[in-house]
Amino acid sequence: MKLQAKNPYLLSSPKRRKFVQGLASGGVLLGMGSLPAMGWSQEAKKSAGGAPVLDGTEFNLEIAESAVNFTGNPRMATTINGSIPAPTLRWREGDTVTIRVTNRLRETTSIHWHGIILPYQMDGVPGISFPGIPAGETFTYRFKVEQSGTYWYHSHSAMQELTGMYGAIIVEPANGNAIRADRDHVVLLSDWTDEDPMRVFAKLKVQGDYYNRLQPTAVDFFRDASQNGVSAAVSRRKMWNNMRMNPTDLADLSADTLTFLMNGATPAGNWTGLFRKGERVRLRFINGAGNSFYDVRIPGLKLTVVQADGVNVEPVTVDEFRFGPGETYDVLVEPTDDAHTIFAQSMDRSGYARGTLATRVGLDAPVPQPDKPQWLTMADMMGSMGGNMGGMAGMAGMAGMSDGAQMKMGGGAQDMQGMAGMNHGAMAMDHSKHAMPGGGSLAAPSTQARHARTEYGASTDMRVGMARTNLDDPGIGLRDNGRRVLTLSDLHTIGGPLDPRGAEREVELHLTGNMERYTWSFDGLEFGQSTPVKFNYGERVRVILHNDTMMTHPMHMHGMWSELETPDGKFQARRHTIPVQPAQRVSFLVTADAMGRWAWHCHLMFHMEAGMFREVLVA
C-alpha cells in the first residue's frame, strides 16, 4: 500500500488513516542490514519471536543503520546488533557487567540503561554523563548491577530511540525469583514512523495538531445539538474555544504517521508468545515507544500485576493497565484458551499494537476494535475544580461536561454555574498564605499551587489553580469503561520505601507547555533557559510535579528512585517513571544518594526534545 512518507502531498490510504496494520513480515530486512558478528563471549539465542537474547557479563553492542520495512516503504533504522527490538540483555544481580558499544553510524550515539542505578558517568546521556559515543568509536560501560527486575535500554541521542534503538533488560535476582512463573516473555511495545522524526517535529512546530484526526467538527456539533440541545452543545465547547484549547488533544502523534509495534512486529505481523496449557505466564511489558501511551489488555484474561518499573509490588489483579514511554509492568496470566490476543491500543485510539499468546505459532484470537475516543473533561483541564474523576468517584457533578452524558442544565450561563459552585471552593483559598517549604510540617505534600513567575508568558497556555491529587483515576478514555483498570493507587511496593526518613524539604516544579506553539517545559522554561535542580547529597527530598497541561507526562528522573506517595504523604510505590495526568499534582520522595548530574525529563520524546527537560545536580 502507498503511504505518505517522503511526499507530504500524497494521499494517505484510507486503510492508513484507520490504523496501520503494517506488513506481516515487517521489520529489519535480513541480509540488507548490517548483521554484526556476535561477540565471542556472547551466546545469542533466538527467543520465541521478538529479540535475540544475550546472557552473561560481557556484551558487545554495535550500533548501525539497518534497512527496515514496516509499512511497505523501505526505510533506514538505527539498530543495536541489527535487530528491532535490540537484543534482550540478561544480567544477574550482583554481577559487574561490561558492555562495549561500538558506533557504526555517521553521528554520535549513546545508550541509556533506563531505571538502572549506576554511577553517573555510565548513565549514557550525551552532554550530561559523557560526551556521547562519536562515529566510529567504542565506549565501554562498566557497572555493578545492584537491583533485579525488568528494565530496558535505549539511545539518548537525538531521535534514535524512535528509529529503532531500544531493547529489554532482565536482571535475575541474586537470591531466587520471588515471582514464580512457568514461562517468561518480554512484551516490548514501541512505535515507528516512516517519516524522519525531526520532520515530524518540525511539522508539529507549524501545526501542533497536525496528526490529530479527532478534531471537533461542525458535524459533531450538530449531532451533539440534536441529541442534547443547542445550548448544551454550545456550553460543552464554550470553555475550550474560549481558552483556545482542544479537547481531543490526546496524543501529539497518531496512526496517521505511527505504526504500533509489539516486540518489533506490526499488528499484521502478530508477534506470538508460546505457552503450554496450564502454565502461568509472566509477561514483562515495557513501553519503549517514542511518543505513545498504551492501554493494554488481554481480552478474557485477568492480569495480575506483580512488578512495576522492575520493583515487586503486592500482586493486584486487573483487566487493563495504561502505561507511558519508560514505564514497565510485569504481569502474570494463566491462559485458558489456545490463543489470546494481547491488545495494546494507543491512548488516542487511532490504532493498536497487537500480538498473541498461543499454544502454537499460527493461532490467533479475535482482535477488539479500539474504543471510541473521548473528549478530555473539565477534570483534565481544571483538576479538582473540574470535579473529582477518580476511579470510584465517577462523573458526579460534571455530567454536563462528560462525553455522552445527559445534560441536566439549561443554557450556557446556567451551565457555568456548576463551575461557579466549584469556584467557591477556589475562592476559599488564600493565595497570600503560601506555606513556604520548610515553613511547616512536611508530613504531607503541600497542595497549594505555587506557579513560577515564568509561567505567565508565551511558553505556558494553562495554569491549574487547584490540581487533583488523587491517584485512583485511570485517566481519560478508561474511566468507567466497565473494566477494572490499574491506577497508581493500586501499586504497593513490597518492602516499603528504601529510606524511612520523611522529607526534609519540598521541591515543586510545574509541567508546562503551549500546544499552539508546540513548546514544552518545566516551569515555563525550556531546557536551554533552565538551571539545574540541586539536591544536597544524602538528603531526602520531596518532589512535587504539578501538571499545568492537558496531557499525561511520563516523568523519568535518572539516577535515583522516585518513591511515589499518597496525597496524605504515605509511601505508595517505588518508580523510575511516574505518569502525571492532566491537571494532576503528584509527589514523590527522592534520596539524593547519587552524586553527579542526571537527566530528568518527560519520556514523550517530542516533549523532551522540545525542552521538557531538566538537569538534576546531586552534590
Partner 1 sequence: MPEAATAALIEKKPESMARMALPDMKGMDHSKMGQGTPAESAGSMKGMNHGGASAEKASSGDMGAMDHGDMQMQGGSAPADARDPHAYSGGYTLEDGPYALPGPRQLRLADEHNFASVMFNTLEHGLSKGDGTTAYDAQAWFGRDYNRFVLKAEGEVANGKIEDSRTEALWSRSIATHWDAQAGARIDHGTGPDRGWLAFGVQGLAPYWFEVDAAAYVGNGGRTALRLGAEYELLLTQRLILQPSAEVNIYGKDDLARGIGRGFSNAAAGLRLRYEISRQFAPYVGVERTALFGKTADIARSEGASTGGTRWVAGVRFWF
Beta pairing partners, 68: 28, 75
Residues 69, 538: Cα–Cα separation, whole Å? 49
The yes or no reply on residue 239 touching partner 1 (CB under 8 A) is: yes
Q: Pick out residues in 586-605 that bind partner 1 (CB under 8 A).
A: 595-597
Cell 522540545 -> residue? 610
Residue 175 neighbours by CB under 8 Å, 6+ apart: none
Q: Pick out residues in 385-424 that bind partner 1 (CB under 8 A).
A: 385, 412, 416-417, 419-420, 422-423
Identify whether the C-beta of residue 412 lies closer than 8 Å to the C-beta of residue 229.
Answer: no
Q: Which of 6, 10, 227, 314 binds partner 1 (CB under 8 A)?
A: 10
Q: Which of 221, 447, 492, 593 binds partner 1 (CB under 8 A)?
A: 221
Cβ neighbours of 504 (radius 10 Å): 16
The yes or no reply on residue 465 touching partner 1 (CB under 8 A) is: yes
DSSP state of 493: B
Nearest alpha carbon to residue 321 among 356, 357, 286: 286
The yes or no reply on residue 228 touching partner 1 (CB under 8 A) is: no
The yes or no reply on residue 435 touching partner 1 (CB under 8 A) is: no
Binding part of the chain for partner 1, among 51-59, 387-395, 486-494, 508-516 by CB under 8 A, reads: 508-516
Number of amino acids touching partner 1 (CB under 8 A): 111
Q: Which of 56, 72, 94, 127 binds partner 1 (CB under 8 A)?
A: 127
Rounded to 10°, the helix 230-243/412-427 angle is 50
For residue 545, the minimal CB distance to partner 1 (Å) is 13
The yes or no reply on residue 246 touching partner 1 (CB under 8 A) is: yes
For residue 452, the minimal CB distance to partner 1 (Å) is 4
131, exposed or middle or buried, with CB in 10 Å at 0-12, 13-18, 19+?
exposed
Q: What are residue 515's phi and psi, to 5 degrees? A: -65, -35
The yes or no reply on residue 19 touching partner 1 (CB under 8 A) is: no
For residue 172, the minimal CB distance to partner 1 (Å) is 32
Residues 362, 224: Cα–Cα separation, whole Å? 44
For residue 141, the minimal CB distance to partner 1 (Å) is 17
Nearer to partner 1, 84 or 605 (CB): 605
Binding flags for partner 1, 528-547, as an x/- string (CB under 8 A): xxxxxxx-------------
Nearer to partner 1, 289 or 462 (CB): 462
Q: Which of 447, 454, 481, 591 binds partner 1 (CB under 8 A)?
A: 454
Q: Pick out residues in 561-580 that bind partner 1 (CB under 8 A).
A: none
**In terms of DSSP bridges, do strands 96-103 and 553-557 run parallel, antiparallel, or are they unpaired?**
unpaired
Instruction: Enter the C-alpha cell of residue 471.
Output: 491517584
Nearer to partner 1, 178 or 458 (CB): 458
Tell me the three-class secondary structure of 97-137, residue by residue.
Answer: EEEEEEECCCCCECCEEECCCCCHHHCCCECCCECCECCCC
Q: Which of 242, 441, 482, 500 binds partner 1 (CB under 8 A)?
A: 242
Residues 589, 541: Cα–Cα separation, whole Å? 6
Four-residue CA torsion sign, 440, 445, 448, 452: positive
Nearer to partner 1, 83 or 581 (CB): 581
The yes or no reply on residue 440 touching partner 1 (CB under 8 A) is: no
For residue 129, the minimal CB distance to partner 1 (Å) is 8
Instruction: Enter the C-alpha cell of residue 117.
Output: 542505578
For residue 37, the minimal CB distance to partner 1 (Å) is 32
Nearer to partner 1, 360 or 431 (CB): 431
Query: Rg (Cα) of the chain, in Å, rounded?
Result: 24
Residues 528, 523: Cα–Cα separation, whole Å? 13
Q: Which of 41, 207, 227, 414 binds partner 1 (CB under 8 A)?
A: 207
